[in-house]
Amino acid sequence: MGGASRLAPRLLAATLLAAALLLPAPPAPADDPAPASTTGEDPAAASPDDAARRRFARSLWFDLRGRGPLPAELAAAAAGDPETLVDDLLADPATWEAWLEGEFWYYLLIDRFRPVSDRVKALPDRLALGASTVRDATREIVVSAEFNARNPGNDTFVTVVLEQLLGVVVQKEPKLLEAGKRMYDGVAAKLWGEVGRSQADVVRIALARREFADRFVARQYRRVFACDAPKGIVDRDGARFHADPASFTGILRGWLLSPEYAARTRVLRPKDDLVFIRTLFVDLLGREPTFEEFRNSRNALTALSDPTPVRHVLAQLLLDSGKAPLPAEESLERPPEWIRSKFRDLLGREPTRGELETFTATLGEYACEPKTVVMALVTSAEYQYH
């Protein structure tokens, strides 16, 4: 009974805080350049320029790093100009490590199929320096022992290469599939007039096709903008990438500094499970998850059609782990400022006046702890977006 009596006020506090949060409006379509008004933010809380800089920097972290930034990372990023920030992130191996992880996921090379060769491990540094191109990286992934193990046999391997690299529907192109299978088996054969006699030749010929360039550009554009690339962009940037694979970093830079990307940052996007896990660890523990933590969390979330309850449980487990750096309630000299900082860190915005008043009042009542405030924010509907 005593435990239940202590729990009841905390549940009441969490309920009050959840009710105080403004639910986000349904996100506008990602290809709609109109700003999405989602929170009714107080104009006095932050200047429009400051809010725009923080929003742009935060979006870059999500799109290039696959997670939200730490407070110090966001403060440093928002202090600079957009061109310098984009250049710094594109020159950082950690950005390309995140990109590579996304490519592993695209090819379903996870867990025991995750490539571990020294050549693959060296790719983030080489990509950051410009010593390798993303086409080189794709070749290393597709010729890896893990890709071969994931796609065993001539039929499966050639089918996956043609479909995932080129978008070929092999059922409609049986001659291509048969030629690729003979090549895989070490028999001289031709694909699009190119002679080969090995698995590596199948990959080499596919990567040299203009279809690969167009498909790669379209896929990366969707990764950044969450919408299909206009045909004109695929034609223009696909041609540029096909002619010079080293140009992709410049193509990506142009996208990120475009007015279209600035407009896109004003539209909320759902956090997928991978982004959610990395961001939750960063937001609550101040670090990214270990490989085991990430794998176990990902498996728990992807096992359900609706992962929301498991997301809430994961947040509670991290907050109750004793490793979350939370202040004691009695140490908060200025509770409103701390609450403001949590809104900025976790939701990327200032609280409205009403939210600030309710959170501040609730923190002083109902046995509410700082942990309760954080729990309310990370389990809110708004936190599921970025």
306, two tokens = 């609706």
Domain spans in the chain, listed from the N-terminal domain onward: 1-80+269-386, 93-264
Task: Return the CA Rg of the chain.
Answer: 24
236, two tokens = 């223009």
pLDDT at 29: 39
Pairing of strands 194-196, 189-191: antiparallel
Q: Which amino acid is at 137?
A: A
pLDDT at 80: 85
Angstrom distance (rounded) from CA 178 to CA 339: 63
- Hunting for tokens 């890896």 — which residue is that? 144
pTM of the model: 0.86
pLDDT at 303: 81
Establish how many alpha carbons lie within 13 A of residue 257's alpha carbon, considering only the half-sphere containing its beta carbon: 15
> What string of DSSP letters covers 138-182?
HHHHHTSHHHHHHS-SHHHHHHHHHHHHH---GGG-HHHHHHHHH
> What string of DSSP letters covers 367-386?
T--HHHHHHHHHTSTGGGB-
Angstrom distance (rounded) from CA 107 to CA 147: 8
Angstrom distance (rounded) from CA 166 to CA 215: 6
What are the CA-CA distances from residue 116 to residues 74, 101, 196, 265, 278 (Å)?
31, 12, 27, 34, 21
Each residue's pLDDT, cut to its tens digit, for the chain (386 residues) gives 444 444 445 555 555 566 666 544 444 433 333 333 334 444 445 567 888 889 999 999 999 999 999 999 999 988 889 999 999 999 999 999 999 999 999 999 999 999 999 999 999 999 999 999 999 999 999 999 999 999 999 999 999 999 999 999 999 999 999 999 999 999 999 999 999 999 999 999 999 999 999 999 999 999 999 999 999 999 999 999 999 999 999 999 999 999 999 999 998 999 999 999 999 999 999 999 999 999 999 999 988 888 888 999 999 999 999 899 998 877 888 989 999 999 999 999 999 999 999 989 888 775 678 898 999 999 999 999 99
